[in-house]
Structures are given as C-alpha cells and as structure tokens.
Structure 1
Amino acid sequence: MTQRGHHFLNIPGPSPVPERVLRAMNRQVIDHRGPDFQKLGREVLAGCQAVFQTKSPVVIYPGSGTGAWEATIVNTLSPGDRVLMVETGHFASLWKKMADRWGVEVDFVPGDWRSGVDPALVEAKLSEDKAHAIKAVAVVHNETSTGVTSRIAEIRKAIDAANHPALLLVDSISGLASADLRHDEWGVDVTVSCSQKGLMLPPGLGFTAISDKALAASKTNTMPRSYWDWAEMMKPNADGWFPYTPATNLLWGLNEAIAILLEEGLENVFARHQRLAAATRAAVEAWGLEILCRNPKEYSPVLTAVMMPPSHDADVFRKIALEKYDISLGTGLAKLQGKVFRIGHLGECNELMLIGALSGVEMGLSAAGVPHRSGGVQAAMASLEGAKTQNAPLRAVAG
C-alpha cells in the first residue's frame, strides 16, 4: 500500500536533510579550479573548525567515516605500534578490525556493549605501560550501535594523569554536531566524523580534525598512504583548494549545514539534543521497556537503543512499524540483531517531529504485539513541557 504524507526517518543516521541544505546542493557543478570554488573551499574549511571547536586543521575527504578512520590510522601509526581500544559496541569492534588489517597491535579490552570507556581503566592501562609502547588510545565518542557515549574529557584527564604520551584518537562519527565534542579544549589529537549524522547531509564526506601532536606524528610514522595522506590535502587546503576533484555539491550543502548550526548556536544544538533524548527515555520507561545503556552519565543525546522483551524480535517489530506507520527505526547490529531497536533523534529534529516518531513507535508496539504499557508519548510530552516551562508562570486556560 502506498503511504501518504511524511516518512519518519528515525534511524541514527543518515539523518533527514534540511530543505535549506537540499536547496544549497541543487545547483550546477562549478569549476573546482575557479575563484568561486576557492571561496567555497575557504568557507567550509573555516566552518568545520567552528563545528569541531578547534583552531587546528580539519581535512575533508570525498569518502565515508570509515575512510576517515583509515586516514587516522595511516597518518599517525606505524606497523607494529600498540593501540589501546575498548569494546564499547559494533563500531569500536570495526575500528579494531581495521587496525588489525594495517598491522597495528591492538590491546582490545572486552566490554558488555552497554557501557562507555572507563577513564579509570585507561589510566590504569597507561600507568602499567612504563616503556610507553602504547602509541594511541582510540575510543568511540558516541557508539551508534548502543546509544552509549564515552566521556572524552575524562579520558583525556586519565591519559594526562598517567603522564603518558599516547595520542587520543576519537571517533565522533555520530556524535559531532549533536553531542558536545570540543576537540581543542578536551585535548583530542584526531577527531573522526562524517557528513550524514549531525551535519545533516547525505553520505559522502569524511573528516579528520588534527592536533599539532598528531600532525607531528604523521611526519615520522611509516604507514604507506596516498589518497588519505594529510600532507597532500593540507598543502592545497591552505588556499581553499583540494588536490583532486572534491565533492563540490556536497560542499555547498556542508556550507549551508554549518550556517544552520552556527545560527542556532552549538550550545543550543547540544541542549536541544539532550531535551529530545530525555523525552525519548521518558517514553521508553513509561512503556516499561529497558534502555540498553546502563549508566545515566553515558546516555546518548543522539539515539536511544531499546531492548526488546524476551521472545520478541526487534526486526519483526521494525518491519510492522514501517509497513503500518511509515517509520524507519534503527536495527540491532551484530550481536544485538533482533534484540534491540534504535530511535534516532539527531540533526534536523524538533519536539513535534519527535512526538510524531514516538507515536509511531507506540502504535507499532501495539500492532506487533510487543508487551508494553501505554502512555509513553504522554510521558515524552511531559518531559518536553517540563524542559520548556521550568519556572514559567501559570497559563490561563480559555473556556
């Protein structure tokens, strides 16, 4: 049956693309060696620094977040180098597999997929490493598979407390521009991200923000690279150019997306995501379902992963919700397949959009016969009203 009206895309990325961004990309391709492009190149490179909250270079690749991971590995590490990683979920595991392929020796600490990186564990591991054999600590900021964030500022403090020179490499693919991430202030050496999450663009761009320390490492490491070489990108970037044909129309969209974020103000962007996430959790709790993330300090503002009751398949529920109510929800990945579904509330999302999505979830739970209590949407509304009207005067009701 053909669905009418608006499709609700509530996966944790790709996220919906704002109309302003779509219009910005809807233009004829220009000469990427001409003056109009040089102006665009300079604007987007400076704008990226604002969003990453850094004065350091941000390299933009035509590629994916996975490509930006690879760029980080090949520019900072050498074969045989040791890296500390923690199994926080599916994407931490994928990053580990990539490092293995490049001949990096990974100290991979097992995890339960319900918790972020423990800063105390990082400090203990690095304190034991008296020879400073560990060259980097690589962590996922917002684990998209689980709805769990890791406390990056605390991890930086743990590295410093151990008096260890390891680089801090952070995957903020789904965190950037949705969850607070301060590249400079938090002492991150490389922040990895991509276009289709908080930046509200189609897939196709990967990013690495690079500290002076990481840049110095790139000049002495021995990993082979060509396409991903920071030096080859940064030379022409200094004047707004790229060493090869860039994704021109995506860069027009990126420029507009950055303008949208800065008009709202990054602090307001982060606060909005926190409000929407709190409302989503209020709905889940009212339904009597369990949130996958164990620690409230690590709740993601980007998405909420919800555990299914025993003997109920999350993918069956997702299929019914899509067919009946035209809502796309995130699937469980790897060992969470069929056990959880994920509600994305990132990017171009506001209160009314969220309430519509949660209504679709609640109706979908009923249609799929998933045991739950009613009232989740009302609980979310109450959460949003409370966030908006704390200490507000009483309102008269017309009658």
Structure 2
Amino acid sequence: MAGRNHLFIPGPTNTPHEVLSAMHLPMEDHRSPIFPDLFKPILADLKKIFRTETGQCFVFPATGTAGWEVALTNCLNPGDKVLIYRFGQFSHLWIEMAKRLGFTVEFHEVEWGKGIPLDDLEARLKADTGHEIKAVLATHNETSTGVTSDIGGVRKALDAANHPALLFVDGVSSIASIEFRHDDWGVDAAISGSQKGFMLPAGAAILAFSQKALAAASTSTYPRAFLSLQDQINTNKDGYTPYTPSTPMLHGLRKSLELLLAEGIDNIYARHHRLAEGVRRAVAAWGLEICAQPGFESDTVTAIVVPADKDAREVISIAFKKYNISLGAGLSEVSGKVFRIGHIGDMNDVSLLGAIAGVEMALLDSGIAIQPGSGVGAALEYYRATA
C-alpha cells in the first residue's frame, strides 16, 4: 500500500524526525570523559518535565513496567501492604506484579470507565489507624479505558487521613502530556516510559523520586540487582550509569527534552487537551459513547464504545488492512467492546483529522450507522474555533 502507516495508538507514539535523526549516530564510549556532558543535563531537564525541584530523576534501560518494579522493590520491604484500585488493564497488571513480588496487596474494584474514588480512598486510609498500608499505588492515566484520575485529590486524601503511606504514581501515558506536578502533589515515585509523551521508542523507564522515597530506599531490605536505585545514585552523581546504557536512546531523549521544553510544558498540556476534545466531539457527532465517564476523560487516549451488536476488533482490522491506520484495541474486560484513538505526543490538528476520517471509513465499512463526515466536521469546527 502506498504511503506510510498512520499510528494512532496510545503508545508507542509517533517519533519526530528531529528525534530520529538525533538517535542515528555511531556508537560511543559511555565511560568517556565527555559522556557526563550528555547525561547530566538530561537528568536536570527531566526534573522540569516531572515538575520537581526537590526530587531526583533516573533513567533505566528498561520499560515503564520495570519502573513499577523499581518503585516497589526499592522503597518497600518484603510483605509490605500496598493499596490500589483496579479500573483497567494496567492497574490490573500493577496489582499482579505486586502480588508476584510478594507484597500484601489490598485492591478494590472500580467500574471500568471511572478512576480512583477519592472519598472511598480517604475513608480507607482513615480506617488504617495502625498504618499497615505502606504505599498507595495510583494509576494516573488508565490507557485501556481512556480514564484519568485526580492525583492531586489522592494526595489530599492522604493528607486528610494524616497517613504516612508513600504515593507511587503510574504516569506512563500521562507525564509529558497531561498535567503532572510531582512536588505540588506530594508524589513519592513517578513512573513513565520513553514511548509515550517523550516520543521515543520503547526501552527507557524514566522515573522521579521524592526525598521521602529515597530515604525509604536507603533502608529497604527488598532484594534487587539490575533495578537498584542505589547503584544509579552512586554513578549518576558523576554523570555515568551503573551498566551499559542505550546511548542512541539518551541522544533521542536529549532532543525530545529540547522539543518539549521549547514548546513549554503548560502549552503541551493545553495542546493535548484541545486535540482530545476534538476527538470527543467527533465521537459525540457519530452518536457513539466513550468508555470514560464524565470527569474522568483522558487527554492522551479516547476509548470508543461500539454498539452492542458490533465488534470493535472488526473496526480495528478494517482500519489497518484497508486504510493503513493503526488503532488501539480494547484490552481484557473491554476487548471487542472498544477501540482506542491515541492522541499523545507528536500530534496536531491535521493529524487527528486524518485519524477521525480514517475511523469514519472503518466504522461505515463495519456496518456501524454514522453520518459520513459528521465526526470530521465536528472536530474541524472545534479546531478552527480554538486555533
């Protein structure tokens, strides 16, 4: 098929040409005297993205999933209790990881389409008078359902309960795209990945830790090796890494940070919100619904519910095979019920209008009754009015 594949999944996201070019370079000595000139500024600029002045950032040659494990095994002790709400596939996977690592996991089911219930969280924390809960695991942006939770509200619940639990946040599909304030929200460990808002290939777990979390890490007895924070701390201070890094990834991250900071972090938040709102208006014009309930809508991914007698997998297949467009599939409990449009990273108005047009064709070919051009028209008018 002529033309390139159009990537509209919530990760990996589209990588800008400037970033690809920055990664295309000969291999180099990661122990050379000049390597710190690359690495130290990356760690400093990451703090601007996470919005932390007092925290410390790290880059592991791994993925966001490994970042979950870094937080759990470095800051907690074997058997510690963690509290988490399950409302999508990725919060589910974090639960399963914590169980397999031997932690005591208390999880509460929430309807998929909603996020963390703050009143329930506050009540549970107040009931934990013995402070058995050592960490709250909060999925900021649940990619599988297009749901965003209020992390500032989670911090308020912890403070209202006067609870000392650490706050770990899965920000894999939110950081560098959706508003995130590490210091203001009292986040102790924030986990992201290179393939989402940072617009890179998968392969880097990018994290920020508070001083409280680092203090906990200094006394943790949980066994760890490759994912040790202390090994990173010992070498990062001099601008090096404890083991061989992916130098092309770091050069790409350097360029990505330059692009993000040049645009301005508040402008990035506003751009993602505006692009997402155009998609939501297109969905409404089609007469369809999104998975996220009011107040929980994500600005990086929209999960669209197909009619009960239709299969979202057919929409995805037609979009890919006939129109060369990649859409996100429904996962686990919403498999076949939703398809997802990712609007994260290197996106603009025309990008999303192309996605919406392609989805319209796939919907019509799937026998889903929509008015041709209705979604494109609704998004087009919104983008024009807000440009």
Measured against the shorter chain, the TM-score band is over 0.9
Within-5 A mapping of 1:153-232? 153-232=152-231
* Matching residue of 2:2: 4
Cα deviation for residue 220 of structure 1 reads 1.7
Q: Is the 8 A contact 2:174 2:197 kept in 1?
A: yes
* Matching residue of 1:391: none
Cα deviation for residue 76 of structure 1 reads 1.1
Q: Deviations over 1:283-338 (max 9, x none)?
A: 0000011110012x221000100001012111111111111111000000111111
Does the residue aligned with 2:219 lie in a helix, a strand or coil? coil
* Matching residue of 2:59: 60
In structure 1, what is the Cα distance between the partners aligned to 2:180 and 2:382?
Answer: 25
In structure 2, what is the Cα distance between the partners aligned to 1:37 and 1:359?
Answer: 46
In structure 2, what is the Cα distance between the partners aligned to 1:139 and 1:305?
Answer: 20
* Matching residue of 2:376: 377
Cα deviation for residue 367 of structure 1 reads 1.4
Select which of 24, 28, 31 maps to 1:30. Answer: 28
In structure 2, what is the Cα distance between the partners aligned to 1:156 and 1:208?
Answer: 19
Q: Is the 8 A contact 1:309 1:371 kept in 2?
A: no
Q: Is the 8 A contact 1:288 1:373 kept in 2?
A: no
Moved more, 30-39 or 147-156: 30-39
Moved more, 332-341 or 367-376: 367-376
Cα deviation for residue 386 of structure 1 reads 2.2
* Matching residue of 2:16: 18
Cα deviation for residue 373 of structure 1 reads 3.2
Q: Deviations over 1:98-136 (max 9, x none)?
A: 000111111101011110101111111000000011001
Q: Is the 8 A contact 1:45 1:240 kept in 2?
A: no
* Matching residue of 2:348: 350
Moved more, 67-76 or 365-374: 365-374
* Matching residue of 2:76: 77
* Matching residue of 1:289: 288
In structure 2, what is the Cα distance between the partners aligned to 1:247 and 1:190?
Answer: 23
1:43 matched to 2:41? The reply is yes
* Matching residue of 1:364: 362
Cα deviation for residue 385 of structure 1 reads 1.8
In structure 2, what is the Cα distance between the partners aligned to 1:243 and 1:209?
Answer: 17
Q: Structure 1 stretches (4+) deviating beyond 6 angstroms?
A: none
Cα deviation for residue 185 of structure 1 reads 1.3
Within-5 A mapping of 1:82-93? 82-93=81-92
In structure 2, what is the Cα distance between the partners aligned to 1:77 and 1:342?
Answer: 35
In structure 1, what is the Cα distance between the partners aligned to 2:284 and 2:206?
Answer: 36
* Matching residue of 1:335: 333
Cα deviation for residue 35 of structure 1 reads 2.5
Cα deviation for residue 159 of structure 1 reads 0.4
Q: Is the 8 A contact 1:91 1:145 kept in 2?
A: yes
Q: Deviations over 1:342-370 (max 9, x none)?
A: 00011000001110111000111111212
Q: Give 1:320's aligned amino acid.
A: I
In structure 1, what is the Cα distance between the partners aligned to 2:68 and 2:51?
Answer: 19
* Matching residue of 2:254: 255
Does the residue aligned with 1:219 lie in a helix, a strand or coil? helix
Q: Give 1:75's aligned amino acid.
A: N
Q: Is the 8 A contact 2:113 2:296 kept in 1?
A: no
RMSD over aligned CA atoms reads: 0.9
* Matching residue of 1:397: none
Q: Is the 8 A contact 2:7 2:14 kept in 1?
A: yes
In structure 2, what is the Cα distance between the partners aligned to 1:249 and 1:291?
Answer: 38
Q: Give 1:183's aligned amino acid.
A: H
In structure 2, what is the Cα distance between the partners aligned to 1:325 and 1:84?
Answer: 43
In structure 1, what is the Cα distance between the partners aligned to 2:149 and 2:89?
Answer: 14
Does the residue aligned with 1:343 lie in a helix, a strand or coil? strand
* Matching residue of 2:114: 115
Cα deviation for residue 371 of structure 1 reads 2.4
Q: Give 1:50's aligned amino acid.
A: K
In structure 1, what is the Cα distance between the partners aligned to 2:114 and 2:238?
Answer: 43
Cα deviation for residue 372 of structure 1 reads 2.4
Select which of 302, 311, 314 maps to 2:312. Answer: 314
In structure 2, what is the Cα distance between the partners aligned to 1:207 and 1:195?
Answer: 7
Does the residue aligned with 1:108 lie in a helix, a strand or coil? strand
Q: Give 1:276's aligned amino acid.
A: L
In structure 1, what is the Cα distance between the partners aligned to 2:5 and 2:267?
Answer: 26
Cα deviation for residue 86 of structure 1 reads 0.2
Uncovered stretches (5+) of structure 2, i.e. residues with no partner: none
Q: Give 1:69's aligned amino acid.
A: W
In structure 1, what is the Cα distance between the partners aligned to 2:304 and 2:178?
Answer: 19
Q: Is the 8 A contact 1:88 1:115 kept in 2?
A: yes
Select which of 322, 325, 328 maps to 2:323. Answer: 325
Does the residue aligned with 2:329 lie in a helix, a strand or coil? coil
In structure 2, what is the Cα distance between the partners aligned to 1:58 and 1:49?
Answer: 6
Q: Give 1:187's aligned amino acid.
A: G
